[in-house]
Structure 1
């Protein structure tokens, strides 16, 4: 490892590190525009110039490898003049847009021009103007401000895997364009807004709505998929103005999917803000006391065997625990959090976790994807897989739909028959997995929601065991969830009790008149047409499918409006904090259930959220370990049996309308109209 001296400080860095990285290791601050630690090196902007002894001129520290014995100076007069010269060139054509630019207050160019800008210009020529580009409904372009750092181009090509962005022409005619004058079609395109160091690429939905110093910033967790991306919610008054990613190397690095970033306008649309009770065939607004009295009276006179409860995909852990406790107190065995009908049990925790962990993908050396399209179901996991694939020696096989995953893969087959061949060692890809030191399998919900889901799960376990995926320090068996609430629901035991019915069985029983009351806790992804004969209680935040079928509506809080614990697909418990208060008469979900327990004379044993969480820890101790993944022991799961010949179908067909919040979002509706259906197409061999 090379050892060099930076401003008199001796520092040793890894082989292959750059001078810029060595300078930062030594505590020196180096300005930069084009350099980004997660992207390839471009060396475009020249702001990172430093002086190296025995070198004839200043060197670009981002592009120069650190060498043993180098002596670097970062704050000499020569360095200062070099950086001021680079800044002068960058500002030749940059317009004086700061007062009207959405990047104002968060702009790298603003910050660095304070240190290295001259304050005057020596150029009398007209500044050039560049025509705006169409990058779709999410990204607003003002390309006259572009300084050609190419961060956006490198991100699109290297991380997103969408080669739609690039530079055309040369010299002062250079422009960053989408080659075919079309929208940038990527489910992670919004990250180029964060990467842009100037105001050339900004958020189109956020344009001209707020300044950063007006916003209250709250750290929280995204719940629109099961990745559990760390986010920052920026709010103004009682409105969420934007959602940005936070750094978490183990989960989302510093990226965020477009659905999670831009669905925030759905938080204020189609909201349930007052209780409703159906009277004379119509829902009418009532007070909390009347609504709870109606629900309590109905639950009190209904036999426990004729009551069912379903927890939805966006429900927090605390509210599921309260629902479970209330149903247990009433003697109700018909309770389920698997509203898509996934054949997953709670007997073995490793049977429903992403055991490799998200960061662990980078340590794998072979991958089998079964019944899943991670590009739509978990975009940030897909970028991790692509990141590992780019390093090489990472064969990927896909069983299911033929899809474009933005990395090279081998299409193996369409359904469970192919998986059975791999499990029995009859398929060539089984040898690939056996030869790998750290193979992994990702099983999606498309493989588990079928009638033969339990048998498919057993085959997946057989693949893991026969190919050496589970060893002392490695577990390559992974379930990829699509619902933020699913793992916590399984951890807390929200599955049918003895003699209880699952979601499909509850729906069929309700349609047949065998179930009198159905309690929907944020459950919207079900066939509500089967609930017409039942008395439906809907508790949730949005007027989606569940609310339309309800006889009583109890308005709850969205994820931005409550302190709550969420458990992501890898089993990591994370704490989300309240950014704003719920609208109108809406209340936190666990508090509604606590109040309802009084009405049925089954008072729940907690009055505060801390007391409730203590009860959660008694059931599942890992709820006490925030941001920690606890390895789950391997065990028996799945039931061997005949499998259906039908092909696997992926659960998400429209990336932008996959949940109640997104369906309420006008921004997501635009994206759905512009992009839906385009990313599912593929040959199965693209890279």
Structure 2
């Protein structure tokens, strides 16, 4: 390992480590604009110049590998003069936009100019102007501010896999622009805003709405999909104005999908902020005692076998646990958290987890996708898969929708019969999986949310077992969930008990009259019971399908408005933090259920969130292991599931930008659908026969 000296301090580094990376490990600050640790090295801003002994001039530390015996100085008079010169050149054409620039207050160029720049410039020629480029409804461009760091170009090409950005011209005529006629339609495009070190790329929906120092910051977890990305919620007053990613190498690295980032403007629209009770066929506003009393009056004397509950995709674990206990007290075992009807086996934890882990999937050396489109179901995960393909060239095959995944993929058709061939070892890709050291598959919800979902799950298990995906220190059987609530619901047993009805049977019972009262815990993505059949009690945050059908509406908090527990697709227990208060009279879901239990005469045995969480952890110990990803034991599941049909396998996500009540009322997401189309990424490029 090379040993070098930086500012008089010695350090041993791995071969290939650059001087800048070595200095970062020592805590020595070297300014940079073009360098980013997750992107390829460009070495074109020259701000990171340092002096190296026996070299005739300063060198770019981001592109210079460390060598044995190297002596580096990062703050000599020569280095300081070089940095002042570089900064002066960067500011030659930079406009004086700081007072009106949305990047003001969190701009790298401002910070570096203060620390390393001079107090005046020597160029008195007119500044160069550059026309703006239309990047779509999410990113506002001010290309006159661009300093040509090329971070945006490298991210689009390397991480997002949509190489539509590039440079035109040379020297002083260089312009960063998009391909002629191309659209910046990546599901990860918002990360360009974070990467841009100046105000050239800013958020278009938030233009001129706030200053960074006005915002209150809350660390939380994303609940818009099943990944559970680490996020930072920025709020002003009682309004969420911005969602940004936080670094979590185990889950989302430092990236975030566009829906999770930009749909936050839907949090304040079409909100349920007071209880409602249906009278004479119309929903009318009511007080909390009146609404809870209406539920109690309807349920009083009703046998438990005529009461049921369904949980939606963003329901938190505390609310599901409380509702499960309430239904048990009422004598009902009819409950289900699988509102899409997915044939998930709740008896074996390894049967419904992403067992390799989101970070661990990078170790796979052969991959089979079954009934899923990671690009729209989990864009951040898809970026990981692309990196594995770019760096190690792993073979990827797909059975299901034919889409552009941003990496090469052998399309094996969309029929379940191909799964049977691979499980029996008769398909060529079965040999690829068998010969791999760490093969893996990713099974999507689109393959399970169908009448023969159990048969598809059984075939996937057979493939995992016959190709060596499950072994000592490796489990390549992965389920990709699209719902933040799903794994938590399965963990705590929000599924039918002995003799209980599942989602399909509950809805059928509601239609026939066998189910007379139905709780919907934020459940909107299902066929609602017809009017004048079951009595529907809806707990949710937005006026979506469930609220329109409800007989009683109990307004609840969104994921940004409560301290709540979620379990992501890999089984990692995580918690959101309340950034703002719920609007009006809305309350946290578990508090509503606790108040309702008291009204019904079956008071739940806890009065605060701590007591509820203690009861939850006592019943399901997994919930006491916050932030961990416990390894689930492999066991047989989905036995005697029958044979699959010949229906084609599809993805669970049709329109990436509108998948839940929040994104469906978001003006920004509606603008994305208008600009890019509902299924913009469903190309045939990238998947070949």
TM-score range, shorter chain: over 0.9
1-structure distance, mates of 2:531, 2:40: 54
TM-score where L is the length of structure 2: 0.99
Q: 1:394 — aligned with what? A: 394
Which has the larger displacement, 43-52 or 174-183?
Answer: 174-183
Structure 2 unaligned spans of 5+? none
Contact 1:20 1:30 in 2 (8 A): yes
1:349-364 equivalence runs, <5 A: 349-364=349-364
Q: 1:592 — aligned with what? A: 592
1:11-410 equivalence runs, <5 A: 11-410=11-410
Per the TM alignment, residue 183 of structure 1 is displaced from its structure 2 partner at its CA by 3.1
Per the TM alignment, residue 181 of structure 1 is displaced from its structure 2 partner at its CA by 4.6
SS in 2 for 1:391: helix
SS in 2 for 1:310: strand
Q: Deviations over 1:388-442 (max 9, x none)?
A: 1111231011000111100111111212111111111010001000011111110
2-structure distance, mates of 1:211, 1:440: 45
Q: 1:661 — aligned with what? A: 662
2-structure distance, mates of 1:23, 1:181: 43
2-structure distance, mates of 1:686, 1:405: 11
Moved segments of 4+, more than 6 Å = none
1:397-436 equivalence runs, <5 A: 397-436=397-436
Q: Deviations over 1:111-144 (max 9, x none)?
A: 0000122121211110011100000000000000
What is the count of residue pairs matched by the alignment? 687
1:642 is the counterpart of 2:630: no
1-structure distance, mates of 2:565, 2:313: 14
Per the TM alignment, residue 617 of structure 1 is displaced from its structure 2 partner at its CA by 0.8
Per the TM alignment, residue 500 of structure 1 is displaced from its structure 2 partner at its CA by 1.2
1:447-596 equivalence runs, <5 A: 447-530=447-530, 532-596=532-596
Q: Deviations over 1:477-508 (max 9, x none)?
A: 00000100000000010111111111111112
1-structure distance, mates of 2:166, 2:488: 43
Contact 1:407 1:686 in 2 (8 A): no
1-structure distance, mates of 2:11, 2:20: 12
SS in 2 for 1:528: coil
1:600-611 equivalence runs, <5 A: 600-611=600-611
Contact 1:653 1:677 in 2 (8 A): yes
2-structure distance, mates of 1:237, 1:83: 41
SS in 1 for 2:612: helix
Q: Deviations over 1:179-215 (max 9, x none)?
A: 1254311000000000000000000111111111111
RMSD: 1.1
Contact 1:187 1:258 in 2 (8 A): yes
1-structure distance, mates of 2:416, 2:532: 35
Q: Deviations over 1:543-579 (max 9, x none)?
A: 0000000010000000000001111000000111000
Q: 1:682 — aligned with what? A: 684
Contact 1:136 1:182 in 2 (8 A): no
SS in 2 for 1:426: coil
1-structure distance, mates of 2:465, 2:521: 37
Contact 1:233 1:244 in 2 (8 A): yes
2-structure distance, mates of 1:671, 1:301: 49
2-structure distance, mates of 1:637, 1:530: 35
Per the TM alignment, residue 531 of structure 1 is displaced from its structure 2 partner at its CA by 5.8
Contact 2:247 2:253 in 1 (8 A): yes
2-structure distance, mates of 1:602, 1:26: 60
2-structure distance, mates of 1:221, 1:13: 34
2-structure distance, mates of 1:532, 1:441: 45
2-structure distance, mates of 1:600, 1:89: 73
Q: Deviations over 1:526-552 (max 9, x none)?
A: 011546511111010000000000010
2-structure distance, mates of 1:451, 1:619: 32
